Structure 1
Amino acid sequence: MPLNDQHRFGTQLAQLSRAWRGELDRRLAGLGLSQARWLVLLHLARFTEAPTQRELAKSVGVEGPTLARLLDSLESQGLVQRQAVQEDRRAKKITLSQAAMPLIEQIEAIAQALRSELFGGVGEEELRVAMAVHAKVLANLEKKS
């Protein structure tokens, strides 16, 4: 692949990510959540078992102290709870509270509506190819770390 195409692909991918997240943030503004907060809630909702604070920070892509501040805020709103881990007193498992569930449902519904709009006119095969390319690039990045 020519270098110019690789550069354009990277630029386009970054623009897509920013624009998609920005549009979702705009649509979620009415829920009174910052992008950082709704992102933490969405990531937390997608875990099958309660993650530790460290696991959640890795999933969201933020440093531990940043996540701690976000969790303090979400905990004060009654949306998340921290639970001690018996095997390691320093670790905390993070769970969504029952009060967060209707909010998560609203976030998911808004996010799904946006995905439906954004993927309009994109065929299944086109999506599979795009996902395969992204997976290869990600695999190459993981080799570097």
Structure 2
Amino acid sequence: MSLSDQHRFAMQVAQLSRSWRAELDRRLAGLGLSQARWLVLLHLARFDELPTQRQLAQSVGVEGPTLARLLDGLEAQGLVSRQAVPEDRRAKKIALSPQAQPLITEIEAISTQLRLELFSGITEEDLSCCQRVHAQILSNLEKR
């Protein structure tokens, strides 16, 4: 693969990521949540046990202070709560409130619909090939 092909591929991946997220953000705008906030809710919903604030920050891929500000806003909206950890006074576990579940269900439905639209016309074989390529690139990144 030539350097120009690699460059073009890298630019396409970056554009795909930005455009996909922008379209999802546009479709979710009516829910009154910023992209950062709905992303935190989705990550939080995927934990089997209540995560600490640090675990949630790692999952979302943001710094602790950034997550703290997002959680402040979500807490003010009544969507999450922070719970003390008895064995570590500094740690807080993050819980979804009951009001968050219908919102998460709607976010997931909108996200699923968009994904169905975006994957239209793509064969399983093409998708498998793309997944292998992306997995190899991610593996190469992790070796750094």
Q: What corresponds to 1:48 in structure 2?
A: 48
Q: What corresponds to 1:28 in structure 2?
A: 28
SS at match of 1:98: coil
Q: What corresponds to 1:68 in structure 2?
A: 68
In structure 2, list runs of 5 or more residues that go unmatched: none
Residue deviations 1:61-83 (CA, integer Å, cap 9, x gap)? 11110100000110111101111
Distance 2:128 2:5 in 1: 20
| Deviation for aligned residue 1:140 | 1.0
Q: CA RMSD in A?
A: 1.0
Residue deviations 1:77-118 (CA, integer Å, cap 9, x gap)? 110111122332211111111110000000000000000000
> Alignment identity in percent?
74
How many residues in Structure 1 have an aligned counterpart in Structure 2?
144
Q: What corresponds to 1:124 in structure 2?
A: 124
Q: What corresponds to 1:103 in structure 2?
A: 103
Which residue identity is paired with 2:79? L
Q: What corresponds to 2:138 in structure 1?
A: 138
- With 29-38 and 51-60 compared, the bigger mean Cα shift is at 51-60
Which residue identity is paired with 2:19? A
Distance 2:50 2:13 in 1: 31
SS at match of 1:50: coil
Q: What corresponds to 1:14 in structure 2?
A: 14
Q: What corresponds to 1:112 in structure 2?
A: 112
Structure 1 residue runs of 4 or more that deviate by more than 6 Å after TM superposition: none
- With 116-125 and 56-65 compared, the bigger mean Cα shift is at 56-65
TM-score with structure 1 setting the length = 0.95
In structure 1, list runs of 5 or more residues that go unmatched: none
Residue deviations 1:14-34 (CA, integer Å, cap 9, x gap)? 000000000000000000111
| Deviation for aligned residue 1:141 | 0.8
